[in-house]
Amino acid sequence: MIPNTKHKPGFTLIEVLVAATIIALLTSIGVVSYQAANRQARDAKRKADLEQIRAALQIYRGDCGAYPTTVSFGGSLTGNCTGSSVTYMQQVPQDPKSPTWNYTYSLSGTSYVLCAYLESGPVSSNCLGSCPNCGANPCNYKLCPF
């Protein structure tokens, strides 16, 4: 005769621990992927911002014959060289992680360098000129006139 054993419904401690470990592992993979995607998105925005600024600077130079001496990131880019005030950029973009990191503009004679810090690493450039620090880190992305 087989003894009467009652089976209680539910999970054992081992089964619960295995399930919790799997859930924690999947969550950590998701968080890491999300952070990497955010870094790439911020870097893409930085590159696009500097391209927009470069385009405005080229138009400014076409009108005024020279590049502006300074660029106010977060402010507007205006010029008075045509006899009246012209706005070339309503609001010059700022770094997505401003004020920790910021864009820089350095005028050197008849040329300039726009700089930013890319979180995904440096991008090679044939721009001459140096960039100061872009906030908490050294600049590793340069953009210069065409």
Give the pLDDT confidence of 111-136 residue by residue, as tens digits: 999 999 999 888 888 888 888 788 88
Asked if residues 104 and 140 have their Cβ atoms less than 8 Å apart, the reply is no
Say how many domains are in the chain: 1
Task: Quote the pTM value.
Answer: 0.80
Identify the burial level of 96 via C-beta atoms within 10 angstroms of its C-beta, where 0-12 means exposed, 13-18 middle and 19 or more buried.
Answer: middle
Task: List the CATH number of the domain containing 83.
Answer: 3.30.700
The pLDDT tens digits for 45-93 are 999 999 999 999 999 999 999 999 999 999 999 998 878 889 999 999 9
39 within a domain of the structure (yes/no) = yes
- List beta partners, residue 142: 115
Full domain range(s) for residue 71 = 15-143
